């Protein structure tokens, strides 16, 4: 499905989709310094549309810009409002949102500091990132030969444009080999994350996930799953773990705004568990979807109603 909408919010005003253009010398296009977010808006059972964890996403956007030494010319509240208005003006009931902060044209070279900081919010219809069948039955994954960034060679807590070349290379590598998604190790050889998702495993009846203080992006969906699991009496062990633990895990699932809660049924030609979606994955997947588009009222603070 192609990306399309009627209007894009750009530098404080709405412009037609076809007119949201930038100069070929846009600095971020050449050097990758900028930040972005991926956010979903869902239509819930009551018919209302709600953007899921909007404040947390925009806070992370601002923090990513701080890491990049970019001064954002809009407040967090202004960008949050722009997201809500973008959904409204396009008449979407559910959609994916892409807030983006980037450096415009002007100076070139690595030291350019005077270029205008530009901000956009784009929305479009987007289904399951790893496919509806992947959500239901699980995907095939492969450990990539590309490592996730070291914590001191790249600022891994920022959702920074240029850093995603690392993930793109990993994703393209495994897709060329016939797999759906890449799993990346850190530079010490421990499991980090997938190309765009955090990872959870059920191993010997315990739920594990890679800790925040490591090489992973601190995912907002990851935080949601940690909260939902604890509320359901499922204890979580946040520690680094190894590739062989993945191979012998009972369940593996990936989480992220785009991928939502996607099970892994096979990794490196090894069947995970019995090859079906396991009970912990099913329970947390159901709890998540009840939060974002069901009838749950457990966490109203996670919902920014579009009105």
110 and 210 co-located in one domain: no
Q: What is the CATH number of the domain that holds 187?
A: 3.20.10.10
CA angle 65, 71, 77 (to 5 degrees): 80
Look up residue 244 and give its two tokens: 């062989």
Domain boundary among 56, 91, 124: 124
203 and 228 co-located in one domain: yes
Domain boundary among 124, 155, 179: 124
The answer to whether position 33 is within a domain reads yes
pLDDT per position as a tens digit, 81-99: 999 999 999 999 999 999 9
pLDDT for the residue 291: 97
99 and 143 co-located in one domain: no
Which among 142, 159, 171, 293 is annotated as catalytic?
Answer: 159
Is 293 among the residues known to form the active site? Answer: no
157 and 221 co-located in one domain: yes
Supply φ then ψ for residue 104, to 5 degrees.
Answer: -80, -170
Instruction: Residue 40: name the closest of 260, 200, 206, 274 by CA.
Output: 260
pLDDT for the residue 2: 73
Mean pLDDT of 70-78: 98
Predicted confidence (pLDDT) at residue 218 exceeds the cutoff of 70: yes
Pairing of strands 236-238, 206-209: parallel
| 59 class by beta-carbon count within 10 Å (0-12 exposed, 13-18 middle, 19+ buried) | middle
Domain boundary among 85, 106, 124: 124
Report the number of distinct structural domains present in the chain: 2
Q: How many other CB atoms are found less than 10 A from the CB of residue 148?
A: 28
pLDDT per position as a tens digit, 273-291: 999 999 999 999 999 999 9
Q: What is the CATH number of the domain that holds 95?
A: 3.30.470.10
The answer to whether position 299 is within a domain reads no
Q: What is the pTM of this model?
A: 0.96
Q: Which domain holds residue 44?
A: 7-124
| 165 class by beta-carbon count within 10 Å (0-12 exposed, 13-18 middle, 19+ buried) | exposed
């Amino acid at each position: 499905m192609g990306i399309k909408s009627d209007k894009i919010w750009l530098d404080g005003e709405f412009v037609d989709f076809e007119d949201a253009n930038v100069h070929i010398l846009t600095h971020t296009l050449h050097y990758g310094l900028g930040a972005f977010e991926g956010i979903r808006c869902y239509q819930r059972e009551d018919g209302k549309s709600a953007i899921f964890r909007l404040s947390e996403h925009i806070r992370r956007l601002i923090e990513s810009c701080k890491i990049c030494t970019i001064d954002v010319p809009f407040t967090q509240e202004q960008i949050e409002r722009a997201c809500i208005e973008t959904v409204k003006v396009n008449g979407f009931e559910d959609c994916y949102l892409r807030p983006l902060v980037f450096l415009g044209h002007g100076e070139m070279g690595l030291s350019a500091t005077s270029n205008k900081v530009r901000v956009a919010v784009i929305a479009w219809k987007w289904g399951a990132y790893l496919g509806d069948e992947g959500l239901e039955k699980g995907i095939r994954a492969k450990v990539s030969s590309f490592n996730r960034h070291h914590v001191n060679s790249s600022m891994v807590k920022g959702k920074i444009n240029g850093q995603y070349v690392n993930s793109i290379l990993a994703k393209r590598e495994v897709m060329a080999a016939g797999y759906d998604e890449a799993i990346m190790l850190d530079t010490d050889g421990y499991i980090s994350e997938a190309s765009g998702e955090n990872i959870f495993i059920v191993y010997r009846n315990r739920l594990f996930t890679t800790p925040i203080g490591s090489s992973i992006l601190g995912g907002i969906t990851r935080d949601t799953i940690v909260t939902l699991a604890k509320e359901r009496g499922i204890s979580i062990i946040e520690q680094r773990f190894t590739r062989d633990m993945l191979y012998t895990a009972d369940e593996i699932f990936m989480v992220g705004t785009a991928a939502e809660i996607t099970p892994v049924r096979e990794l490196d030609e090894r069947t995970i568990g019995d090859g079906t979606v396991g009970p912990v994955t099913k329970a947390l997947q159901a709890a998540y979807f009840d939060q974002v588009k069901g009838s749950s009222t457990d966490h109203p603070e996670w919902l920014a109603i579009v009105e």
